[in-house]
């Protein structure tokens, strides 16, 4: 229940806490396994500081293990390397010298892409490991997915049909989550077809006049949403939506039941047909959310951005590509890039479809995927974008994200935190917000 106002939080602390929670939510596994949480840190250090090489160029790797801040001498390190997200093609062992250092060579890749270099130490019966993804001409990586001839017509027709459905917004004020700087509302919008809804949380700064707006799009999960969204303290009206067509203010028990039941494996539901695939409703729901933002008197419809990571990064690109009312986007480690990658012998993006060549109806499903691959939306994108990810992302691997980034012809900027996994550094987020403000003439 929303009953009373809370006192306003200190902005700096609010952003620090939000960033930490976002990192935790995005990759609990990656954080738990990161070197900073291991008793022994194992390192594969490339001889190029930017971890980047030309095709055919050998990489010289220095390997070492650190225990209690001291390199471990005379220690055996097992190493392996192979294409990003695929099996290792070579495994070997080296022993550190008296200074705790060992060396090995990784052959140059034959084509643009990434090679995963893994190192492991066994100490007192426990394994400690890490991964370093080195790049070979990453800005020359080209996708394997093909754009269907009727791609744009398919989505144009889908949008036109959805636009005939009345939006019928229901907006409920939440006093408990509001404060003296922002107002928070829970929103329901009819979308896609009658009786189908988009649910979200709207945070509105208590300032005069029309304001720029952000459509905040979610990563993969089934969960609740609460306000206030911290981006509103930066001067944006923020609408954060779910993509499952369910209310976003229910108990966590309900979401866990849905995640284990009706929404289990939702990323493949209906994938045998382009009109029944799960994400058709989700994508059109994002466009409906833009409709709603543009209808508000407190929103400057010429200054609307999409913003999200992983599944949210994919939806940020897709929404901007389909709706020219979106004037800027921030997408970090976008999912659904290069869905046919595995079938073509290279890493594919989350949710890692088509890894099994014996999958039923494989060819038809891959054909459907071309209408939903982030790469194909990137090909028609005209919106300026800010992008961020790392080389070590195990979920949305860099081979896949660079495949999408490289086909974008719209103005673009990429900031890479090479050692990041499925998470961002605060400076990447801060730079993205500063970029959005510049795009919208807020500073």
DSSP 298: T
d(CA 72, CA 63): 11
Neighbour count for residue 17 (Cβ, 10 Å): 13
Which candidate in 323, 373, 400, 422 is catalytic?
Answer: 422
Kindly report whether the peptide bond that precedes residue 215 is cis, defined as omega within 30 degrees of 0: no
**Six-digit token pair at 320?**
């901007």
H or E element in which residue 102 lies: strand 102-106
DSSP 34: S
Which candidate in 310, 369, 400, 403 is catalytic?
Answer: 310
Which candidate in 191, 393, 400, 403 is catalytic?
Answer: 393
Could you give the angle at the alpha carbon of 193 between the alpha carbons of 189 and 195, nearest 5°? 65
**Six-digit token pair at 231?**
């981006």
Q: Cα 265 vs. chain centroid, distance in angstroms?
A: 18
Who's near 106: CB < 8 A, 6+ residues apart?
58, 59, 61, 81, 115, 117, 134
Residue 422 is among the residues annotated as catalytic for this protein = yes
Q: Cα 340 vs. chain centroid, distance in angstroms?
A: 18
**Six-digit token pair at 42?**
């194992």
d(CA 55, CA 340): 23
Neighbour count for residue 224 (Cβ, 10 Å): 16
d(CA 68, CA 49): 25
Catalytic positions: 310, 393, 422
């Amino acid at each position: 229940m929303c009953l009373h106002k809370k006192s306003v939080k200190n902005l700096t602390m609010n952003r620090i806490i939000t960033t930490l929670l976002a990192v935790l939510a995005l990759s609990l596994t990656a954080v738990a396994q990161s070197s900073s949480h291991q008793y022994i840190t194992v390192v594969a250090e490339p001889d190029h500081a930017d971890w980047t090489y030309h095709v055919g160029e050998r990489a010289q790797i220095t390997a070492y293990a650190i225990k209690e801040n001291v390199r471990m001498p005379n220690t055996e390190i097992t190493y392996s390397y192979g294409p990003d997200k695929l099996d290792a093609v070579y495994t070997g062992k080296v022993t550190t010298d008296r200074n705790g250092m060992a060396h090995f060579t990784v052959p140059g890749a034959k084509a643009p892409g990434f090679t995963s270099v893994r190192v492991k130490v066994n100490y007192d019966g426990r394994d400690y490991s890490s991964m370093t993804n080195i790049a070979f001409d990453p800005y020359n990586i080209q996708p394997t997915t093909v754009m269907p001839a009727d791609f744009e017509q398919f989505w144009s027709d889908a949008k036109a049909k959805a636009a005939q459905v009345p939006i019928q917004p229901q907006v409920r004020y939440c006093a408990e989550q509001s404060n003296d700087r922002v107002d928070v509302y829970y929103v329901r919008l009819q979308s896609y077809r009658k009786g189908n809804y988009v649910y979200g949380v709207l945070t509105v700064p208590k300032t005069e006049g029309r304001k720029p707006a952000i459509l905040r799009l979610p990563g993969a999960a089934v969960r609740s949403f609460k306000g206030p969204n911290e981006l509103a303290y930066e001067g944006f009206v923020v609408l954060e939506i779910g993509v499952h067509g369910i209310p976003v203010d229910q108990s966590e028990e309900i979401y866990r039941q849905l995640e284990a039941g009706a929404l289990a494996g939702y990323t493949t539901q209906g994938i045998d047909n382009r009109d029944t695939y799960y994400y058709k409703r989700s994508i059109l729901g994002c466009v409906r959310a833009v409709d709603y933002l543009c209808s508000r008197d407190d929103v400057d419809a010429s200054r609307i951005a999409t913003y999200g990571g992983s599944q949210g990064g994919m939806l940020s690109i897709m929404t901007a590509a389909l709706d020219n009312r979106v004037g800027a986007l921030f997408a970090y480690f976008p999912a659904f890039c290069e869905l046919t990658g595995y079938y073509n012998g290279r890493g594919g993006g989350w949710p890692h479809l088509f890894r099994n060549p014996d999958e039923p109806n494989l060819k038809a499903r891959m054909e459907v995927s071309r209408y939903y691959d982030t790469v194909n939306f990137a090909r028609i994108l005209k919106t300026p974008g800010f992008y961020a990810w790392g080389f070590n992302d195990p979920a949305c691997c860099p081979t896949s994200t660079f495949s999408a980034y490289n086909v974008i012809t719209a103005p673009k900027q990429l900031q890479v935190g090479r050692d990041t996994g499925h998470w961002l550094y605060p400076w990447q987020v801060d730079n993205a917000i500063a970029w959005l403000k510049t795009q919208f003439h807020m500073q």
